[in-house]
Chain A
Amino acid sequence: MNVALIIIFGFLVLSLYLGIRAKKGKDMNLEQWTVGGRGFGALFVFLLMAGEIYTTFTFLGGSGWAYGKGGPAFYIIAYGCLALIMSYWLLPLIWKYAKEHNLMSQSDFFVSKYKSPYLGVLVSLVGVLALIPYLVLQLKGLGLIVSTASYGSISSTLAIWIGAISVTAYVMISGIHGSAWTAVIKDIMILVVVVILGMYLPFHYYGGIQPMFEAVDAAKPGFLTLPEQGMSVSWFISTVLLTALGFYMWPQNFGAVYSAKNERVFRKNAIVMPLYSLILLFVLFVGFTAVLQVSGLKGPAVDESLLRLSIQTFDPWFVGVIGAAGLLTAIVPGSMILMTAATLMAKNVYQVFVPSASDRRISNLAKVLVPILAVVSVYFTLQGGNTIVTLLLMGYSLVTQLFPSLLLSLMKNNFVTKEGAFAGITSGVLTVAYITVTETTIGTLFPALPPAVKDLNVGIVALFVNITVMTVTSLVSRRTSKVKEEQPAA
């Protein structure tokens, strides 16, 4: 056991302790456990939302992409900002409706708006499907952090198990109150660590940020911009748009919206959060510094770039602090994800088919599902060979399919029927699944198209299929239901 590991495990114990303390004296029914009793003010909602944004994905994935792909990694700074603009108008509407109807989850929203419990089941399943890669990437990050910080003495497989067990214990003990408290420590730590790394490393190795970029540009011309082909300008635009639309479609982000005290919380956050998102800039600086200093990381290994560079630069105790910050960025979102997925399965899938189940039974089932989902994710983590960002983009393509029918349901005159929403979401998700499994790109589907069209993010294609099917089905089902209504009269 070295100093780095002792520090990392120290923080793990501390976060578990805070989780347990948060639970004390509170009666934990399902609403308390998941939406925190709808009593969180601006700061807590801000932290919970920020907790979702600044995950392992940012910490390791962001620097990994900067290291491995260069310019395309800039998309990470752009999309959050656009999502936040939409949040100003979108979230108050969602929050208000949810409060009036006492909703607890994202699929409750669809059930209530479209008057269809089975649409809720579909939305839940899409949510869980998208959450699995998201949880996998958190566990992958945890595994990397612990095994790297142990200087090889703990294998990454063992580290992944340790991570999964801690996240599970954490969620089962404390629910959302624990997440909020740990989010406070996590955000302070990640802020400090990332700024220190992002400022210190470029100065230490190159004497400044601009000299660092110039050295990278000289060694690898074109690396700092978007390439002509592949992850080109049109890839950038379509990816930023897709991820911005999907941002609040994640079931756990949707759930965090419910925990706000009032709707102005969101409008205020839309002003502050863009600035807060600039922390990501420092993560990118670390990744770009690593380009010429850490050699030979390829494929999924690019996610190690931040940790490798830290190890070769700092003393073990500081590596421990970095690792602890990384650990918290995985545990807080990881616990939110696990809790959300378990609640969705219990309440929005199981209860629909067994309506007689008591609230207590549902609540217990949700808690039993937590370790099961954790094990499933560990399985995929040990299997997979994708980078953290690739996993995230896959999840995004899935949840974004919920956006069209959600947005239209907020309109006064919604032309989409429940059949339309059902068909649209299904066709969108199937398109994503097909594209992912067969590794199709627009280029392989339509080789004759100009490169600008070929490079579009495939999630956009799925979204297009989704909207088309949704519209056609809605119009047809509307007409047939009208005919049915008129027939008895005639």
Chain B
Amino acid sequence: MKRIYLLGLLPFIGILGGIPFANRVTPYILGMPFILFWIVMWVVLTSGIMAVVYKLDPANKEEEVQ
């Protein structure tokens, strides 16, 4: 198990672990109730996190060489 793979756990912690604290309407951010903003923010972060994992993952480099 490579250490960068642990990054993939962050969104789980953020969405599942964070929701009890984020379950509120105010403050509105980008026009959305806070709970919705919280989830959307994590979806966007997930994309970024997976891009980082992809870049650093040696499995993808090996294939490129082939």
Question: Residues of A at under 8 Å CB distance from B?
Answer: 71, 74, 77-78, 81-82, 84-85, 88-89, 92, 208-210, 213-214, 217, 224-226, 233, 236-237, 240-241, 262-264, 267-268, 270-272, 274-275, 277-278, 281, 284
Contact A270 B50 (CB under 8 A): yes
A77 surroundings in chain B (CB, below 8 A): 36, 39-40, 43
Contact B15 A226 (CB under 8 A): no
Partner of A277, one of B15, B43, B60: B43
CA distance A208 to B63 in the complex (A): 48
- Knowing A233-B20, A237-B19, the reply to whether A88 touches B8 (Cβ < 8 A) is yes
Question: Residues of B at under 8 Å CB distance from A?
Answer: 5, 8, 11-12, 15-16, 19-20, 23-25, 28, 31-33, 35-36, 39-40, 42-44, 46-47, 50-51, 53-54, 57, 59-60, 63
The smallest C-beta distance from A91 to any residue of chain B, in angstroms, reads: 13
Which residue of chain B has its CB nearest to the CB of A209?
A: B31
Contact A71 B35 (CB under 8 A): yes
CA distance A277 to B43 in the complex (A): 8
CA distance A84 to B51 in the complex (A): 12
The smallest C-beta distance from B27 to any residue of chain A, in angstroms, reads: 11
CA distance A278 to B54 in the complex (A): 21
A267 surroundings in chain B (CB, below 8 A): 54, 57, 59-60
CA distance A459 to B28 in the complex (A): 33
Contact B43 A275 (CB under 8 A): yes
A84 surroundings in chain B (CB, below 8 A): 46, 50
CA distance A181 to B63 in the complex (A): 29
Main secondary structure of the interface of B (DSSP, over half): helix
The smallest C-beta distance from B63 to any residue of chain A, in angstroms, reads: 6
Partner of A271, one of B8, B12, B54, B63: B54
Contact B19 A278 (CB under 8 A): no
CA distance A90 to B45 in the complex (A): 20
B35 surroundings in chain A (CB, below 8 A): 71, 74, 224-226
Contact B15 A210 (CB under 8 A): no
Given contacts A237-B19, A284-B36, 4 further A-B contacts (CB under 8 A): A74-B35, A224-B36, A278-B40, A281-B40
B53 surroundings in chain A (CB, below 8 A): 88
Contact B31 A271 (CB under 8 A): no
CA distance A236 to B35 in the complex (A): 12
Q: List 7 A-B contacts (CB under 8 A).
A: A78-B39, A78-B43, A82-B15, A208-B31, A233-B20, A264-B60, A277-B43
Partner of A85, one of B8, B28, B40, B59: B8
Which 9 pairs, one residue from A and one from B, show the smallest C-beta to C-beta distance? A209-B31, A210-B31, A274-B47, A274-B46, A271-B50, A224-B33, A81-B43, A271-B51, A270-B50
A237 surroundings in chain B (CB, below 8 A): 16, 19
The smallest C-beta distance from A425 to any residue of chain B, in angstroms, reads: 25
The smallest C-beta distance from A267 to any residue of chain B, in angstroms, reads: 6
Which residue of chain A has its CB nearest to the CB of B24?
A: A225
Partner of A81, one of B24, B33, B46, B57: B46
CA distance A209 to B31 in the complex (A): 6
The smallest C-beta distance from B15 to any residue of chain A, in angstroms, reads: 5
Contact A85 B46 (CB under 8 A): yes
Partner of B15, one of A78, A208, A209, A263: A78
The smallest C-beta distance from B28 to any residue of chain A, in angstroms, reads: 5
Contact A217 B33 (CB under 8 A): yes
Contact A213 B28 (CB under 8 A): yes
Partner of B50, one of A85, A210, A263, A278: A85
Which residue of chain B has its CB nearest to the CB of A71?
A: B35
Contact B60 A275 (CB under 8 A): no
CA distance A443 to B49 in the complex (A): 38
Partner of B12, one of A82, A209, A226, A262: A82
Contact B39 A85 (CB under 8 A): no
Contact A264 B63 (CB under 8 A): yes
Contact A275 B47 (CB under 8 A): yes
Contact A275 B31 (CB under 8 A): no
CA distance A267 to B32 in the complex (A): 30
CA distance A92 to B57 in the complex (A): 13
Contact B23 A225 (CB under 8 A): yes
Which residue of chain B has its CB nearest to the CB of A211?
A: B31
CA distance A88 to B53 in the complex (A): 10
- Knowing A89-B5, A224-B25, A268-B54, the reply to whether A233 touches B46 (Cβ < 8 A) is no
B33 surroundings in chain A (CB, below 8 A): 213, 217, 224-225
The smallest C-beta distance from B53 to any residue of chain A, in angstroms, reads: 7
The smallest C-beta distance from A270 to any residue of chain B, in angstroms, reads: 5
CA distance A208 to B42 in the complex (A): 23
